[in-house]
Amino acid sequence: MAKLIDGKAVSQKVKDEVRAEIESKGLKVGLAVVIVGNNQASRVYVNNKKKACEVCGIQSFEYALPEETTEKELLDLVDTLNNDPKVNGILVQLPLPKQINEENVIARISPIKDVDAFHAVNVGKIMIGNYSFLPCTPAGVMELIHSTGTDVTGKECVVIGRSNIVGKPMAMLLLHENATVTICHSRTKDLAAVCRRADILVSAVGKADFVTADMVKDGAIVIDVGMNRNAENKLCGDVKFDEVEPKASYITPVPGGVGPMTIAMLMKNTLAAKYLQS
C-alpha cells in the first residue's frame, strides 16, 4: 500500500509561506494572467491561479482575450505588461490558438517577469544552475518528493516525456539534486524495462492509463504529472492508479497532486519576481 502524497496540503503550506512573507513585509505584488480563447481546461486552471493569488495576498490582473486574437495583439499586450510596474509576473496560459506562435510570445515576456521560467534566458539559467525562477510544475514535483523525506542523491530517476515545459526541466532539477536521470520518450526502446529501474518515476506523457504496474519497481515513488480526461470525461493522470498504487511506496493522486503544486510554485515565483524587480 502506497502512501498518498497530498498535493493540496503541501501546496497550502507553500501558499501560507508566501502569504506570511507578503504580509509581514507589507509588499505589493501583482500577477497578470492572460488567457486567450475558450479552452475549458485552461479556464479552470486560470481560475485556480486567481484564487491562489487571493489566498496569498497577490493582486491578480486577468486579461481574457477572444479566440481570434492576433499574435500582434497579444505581443502588444505583453509589451504593455512588461512596462507596467504593478505587474511583477506575467503568465500567458498555454496552449494558445493556432494563429499565435507560442515561442514568439514567450520570447517577448521580460525574463524578470517570466514567472513560468519558459523564456530562453531562464531556461539557460536553470541549465547552468544559477536561476531566478524554477519552472512551476517541475519545482512542484521536487517539493512533493521532498515532502516524503526522500533524499534524491544517487537515486535512479526516470522521467517519461521530454517537453520543454515539464520533461526537460524536470530532468534538470533532479540532476541538480544529484540523481541519476533517464529521460524516456516515444522512441525509447523497451520503455517498461527502463521505467522499472526507477526509484523515482515521473510521468509527463498526457495519456490516461499509460503507466501500468509492470513499469513500476516495488517501492518506487510515482509522480503523475498527467492531466487527462478519460472516456467518461473524468479527470485522470497518466498512471493506472489502481494497479500501480499497491507497488509504489508513495504516489500522487490526480486531481490533488501535482496540479495544486504548479499553482503554489507560481505564487512563489511571483514573490521572487517582486524582489528581482526592487
In the bound complex, what is the minimum distance in angstroms from residue 217's beta carbon to ligand L34?
25
Q: Say whether 49 is catalytic.
A: yes
Q: Rule CB under 6 A: which of 170-209 touch ligand L34?
A: none
In the bound complex, what is the minimum distance in angstroms from residue 44's beta carbon to ligand L34?
4
Secondary structure element (H or E) that encloses residue 174, with its range = helix 167-176
Q: Say whether 15 is catalytic.
A: no
Among residues 65, 15, 8, 50, which one has the least CA distance to residue 257?
A: 8
* Nearer to ligand L34 (CB atom), residue 29 or residue 225: 225
107 touches ligand L34 (CB under 6 A)? no
Burial of 149 (0-12, 13-18, 19+ CB in 10 A): exposed
Per DSSP, what are the bridge partners of residue 178? none
The rounded Cα 135 to chain-centroid distance in angstroms is 6
Contact 237, 23 (CB under 8 A): no
Q: Rule CB under 6 A: which of 216-275 touch ligand L34?
A: 227, 235, 254-256, 259-260, 262-263
4 touches ligand L34 (CB under 6 A)? no
In the bound complex, what is the minimum distance in angstroms from residue 135's beta carbon to ligand L34?
8
Three-state SS for 118?
Answer: coil
* Nearer to ligand L34 (CB atom), residue 8 or residue 196: 8
Among residues 7, 12, 8, 5, which one has the least CA distance to residue 268?
A: 12
Among 114, 116, 224, 245, binds ligand L34 (CB under 6 A): 116
In the bound complex, what is the minimum distance in angstroms from residue 196's beta carbon to ligand L34?
26
- How many helices (H) and strands (E) are present in the chain, helices listed first? 10, 11
* Nearer to ligand L34 (CB atom), residue 34 or residue 244: 34
Residues that bind ligand L34 (CB under 6 A): 44-45, 48, 91-94, 116, 136-137, 227, 235, 254-256, 259-260, 262-263
